[in-house]
Structure 1
Amino acid sequence: MAVEHPPAAPSGGQTRIHDIGYRTYDGPRLGRAYARRSLYSQSLRGAYGLGRSVKSKVLPMLLFAVMCVPAAIMVAVAVFTKAKDLPVDYTRYAVLMQAVISLFLAAQAPQSVSRDLRFKTVPLYFSRPIETADYVRAKYAALASALFILTGAPLIVLYAGALLAKLDVADQTKGFGEGLVSVALLSLLFAGIGLVIAALTPRRGFGIAAVIAVMVISYGAVSTLQAIADARDNTGAIPWIGLFSPVTLIDGVQTAFLGATSAAPGAVGPGTGQGIVYLVVVLGLIAAAYGLLLRRYKKVGL
């Protein structure tokens, strides 16, 4: 019976090595700084729905318009009536529009971080080359920048209108600068609070509800207590009560240091000494929010 033998191995001259096209990357290594900038820019764009679906653009753009339209109306009134001053101070505008700012924060803070938690993509960011601190800084800076754009744009409208109305340039420039300082501090504080709350849950809906609850309930409770203190002629307690709400904290700082008129009942704001306490609390909350975010994402990235 014949036995079949396997074919003989090809000789060395018949051996072939096929190049299937894989090559190593020999371009520039952009590193952590580039990754951090990219994450920042994408997060900032995402806060306004840029680069995303049309549906994602509706709410942030609508809120941006709601922030700017009252300022444009005030400018029109000042120009046509030849008023000697704007109807609202620069430092007062954000406090009046705090409900719109809180709604924007509630919508965009969870959008910035909750999806990464829900789909467990955070460890992928930390694989290479970005680190926990880079992620937190990029997200914090992006949301703070988005809030600064939201709150600073109407101030630009007011300032441009004041110049068109030929109001005193020096006074308007000073007020505009004070307003920018105020909204910059507000943006840092609100962004930190919103991100800390949103980072606690991967559920975007829960994050939105929690941010709204913290911002609205704290402001409502503080305003109510201040009104009660004012009705009982206990005006000395009004500034101290204001330490327990993000909105009234910013109002107190700008009242003490930026020449603003307090929005508290009876316009009773903190003096210079109390204002220092307000400023320390605001800066402490910003630092605490950053620290809590670092701690949170060190656990998530494991």
Structure 2
Amino acid sequence: MSLRASDVVAGDGNARIFEGGYRPYRGIRLGVGHSVWALARHTIERIMGLKRPARYKVLPFLAVLIAYLPAIAFIGIVALAPPGGGRRILDFVPGPGRYYGFITAAIILFATLAAPEALCPDKRSRFLGVYLASPLNRTTYLLAKAIAVGTVLLLVTLGPPLLLLIGLALQNHGPNGFSDFMGTLGQILVAGVSLSLMFGAISLAVPSLTDRRALASAGSLLLILGSGAITGTVTFGLKGPRNVLALALNRLPFELALRIFTLPGLPTGPEREFGAHSPPLSTAVVVGASVAVTAVAAAVTWWRVVGLEVTR
């Protein structure tokens, strides 16, 4: 005789299961693409501190604000300048191509904060196995994380120069004519995406090696700034070849941005010492080094994530 649930009384307070049953999921399956998007959206929220206590929002929003403040200041200067001082103002206010020089620290700071929040919590909590139980595999998992980091980096690599362009155009101090405006807009889009890809790849490499966010942020910052110090020592202190400067990660992305805007590159030595014999790095060297650095950093991250052991 079979027992019903209503016939069983656990007098000692211990519940007992007499039968178990399972039903297959018959709902709509949204596929891998939706899983990638859902994980990317969740990662973006985590990086920016959304749906988290206020202390997690301070640093990311502060870094983004720092990136926009110079653009707001330049637009305000142009708007409040007297009509006769337009030429002097234009000489002082940088164009979108030169604007990255004012927000270098904000971009580097934001990149070193964003990537550890994307990878380290999953590694530390050993949550990767849960994601792999979904339609995601290791490659699509890493793709979602890369999309999230690249998207938030666009806030500081694309948004500020775009705001500057629009603000100057509204004050009649922007590009001359529609074609020039669209050309500059295209350069901003290419430069913003390129810097986002480079800094995203570089800043994800170090967090892929550790599960501690503070260590990953410090390591990424040390890698970016330390490469500049080492290459500077080799080039200027030891009189090495100038092309070594292409390996300075705090310099290379902004060199690439200048090339995209068809502007002269950064000098490769102190003017008082090198004078006219201090030409910028060639465009071929800058582009080649940018592609190589991005590819190597992405390969390191992929290698570490693919080889990550899943324990649960």
Q: TM-score, normalised by structure 1?
A: 0.83
Which one is further off, 220-229 or 292-301?
220-229
Matching of residues 66-215 of structure 1 within 5 Å: 66-81=66-81, 82=83, 83-84=86-87, 85=90, 87-167=93-173, 168-169=176-177, 170-215=179-224
Secondary structure of 1:246 counterpart: coil
Which amino acid in structure 2 is aligned with residue 283 of structure 1?
Answer: V
1:297 and 2:305 aligned: yes
How far apart are residue 287 of structure 1 and its match?
2.3
Q: TM-score, normalised by structure 2?
A: 0.80
Which structure has the greater CA radius of gyration? 1
How far apart are residue 95 of structure 1 and its match?
3.2
Deviation digits for residues 58-97 of structure 1 (CA, Å, limit 9, x no counterpart): 1111111111111110011122225353711212222331
Residue 259 of structure 1: aligned partner: 262
Which amino acid in structure 2 is aligned with residue 244 of structure 1?
Answer: L
Residue 59 of structure 2: aligned partner: 59
Which one is further off, 246-255 or 194-203?
246-255
Deviation digits for residues 89-112 of structure 1 (CA, Å, limit 9, x no counterpart): 212222331111111111111111
The separation in 2 between residues aligned to 1:257 and 1:203, in whole angstroms, is: 36
Which amino acid in structure 1 is aligned with residue 191 of structure 2?
Answer: S
Residue 279 of structure 2: aligned partner: 268
1:277 to 272, 285, 294: 285
Residue 246 of structure 1: aligned partner: 249
* Aligned partners of 2:153 and 2:200 also within 8 Å: yes
The separation in 2 between residues aligned to 1:45 and 1:190, in whole angstroms, is: 19
How far apart are residue 116 of structure 1 and its match?
0.7
Gapped runs of 5+ residues in structure 2?
6-18, 272-277
* Aligned partners of 2:224 and 2:248 also within 8 Å: yes
Aligned Cα root-mean-square deviation (Å)? 2.6
Which one is further off, 202-211 or 278-287?
278-287
How far apart are residue 245 of structure 1 and its match?
1.4
How far apart are residue 257 of structure 1 and its match?
4.5
Gapped runs of 5+ residues in structure 1?
1-9
Identical counterparts, % of pairs: 22
Residue 12 of structure 2: aligned partner: none
The separation in 2 between residues aligned to 1:286 and 1:218, in whole angstroms, is: 15
The separation in 2 between residues aligned to 1:256 and 1:60, in whole angstroms, is: 29
How far apart are residue 129 of structure 1 and its match?
1.5
Which amino acid in structure 2 is aligned with residue 60 of structure 1?
Answer: P
The separation in 2 between residues aligned to 1:218 and 1:112, in whole angstroms, is: 24
* Aligned partners of 2:66 and 2:103 also within 8 Å: no
How far apart are residue 20 of structure 1 and its match?
8.9
How far apart are residue 220 of structure 1 and its match?
3.7
Which one is further off, 120-129 or 62-71?
120-129
Secondary structure of 1:52 counterpart: coil
Residue 5 of structure 1: aligned partner: none
Which one is further off, 150-159 or 62-71?
150-159
Which amino acid in structure 2 is aligned with residue 106 of structure 1?
Answer: T
* Aligned partners of 1:255 and 1:262 also within 8 Å: yes
* Aligned partners of 1:112 and 1:139 also within 8 Å: yes
The separation in 2 between residues aligned to 1:224 and 1:184, in whole angstroms, is: 30
Indicate how the Cα distance of structure 1 residues 225 and 290 shifts in structure 2: closer, same or farther if over 3 A, else same.
Answer: closer
How far apart are residue 162 of structure 1 and its match?
1.0
